[in-house]
């Protein structure tokens, strides 16, 4: 049981580090958060941005990854 938890934590840490390195390098800077369907409203000095489609895509990807690691 402890051995499996250790393996999971190592894989999860490597995955988080890889995603962090990709985002730090600028990957996705042009499209990440600016997909069609993301809500962006500006008027005067007020602006509201809610990346709903980006959140949905990230949710599907994370769900698939966690489902694969559970098997």
> 67, 61, 70, 63: which is closest to 19 by C-alpha?
61
Q: Is the distance from CB of 11 to CB of 19 less than 8 angstroms?
A: no
What's the confidence (pLDDT) of residue 16?
Answer: 87
pTM score above 0.95: no
Bridge partners for 41 per DSSP: 48
Using 50, 70 and 90 to split pLDDT, how confident is the model at 71?
A: low
Phi, psi of 38 (to 5 degrees): -75, 135
Residues belonging to the chain: 71
Tell me: the pLDDT tens digits for 3-62? Answer: 888 888 888 898 889 888 877 787 767 776 778 888 889 999 999 988 888 889 889 988
């Amino acid at each position: 049981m402890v051995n499996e938890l250790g393996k999971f934590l190592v894989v999860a840490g490597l995955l988080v580090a890889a995603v962090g390195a990709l985002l730090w390098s600028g990957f996705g800077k042009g499209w990440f958060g600016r997909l069609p369907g993301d809500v962006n409203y500006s008027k005067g000095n007020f602006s509201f941005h809610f990346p709903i489609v980006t959140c949905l895509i990230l949710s599907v990807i994370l769900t698939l990854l966690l489902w694969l690691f559970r098997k």
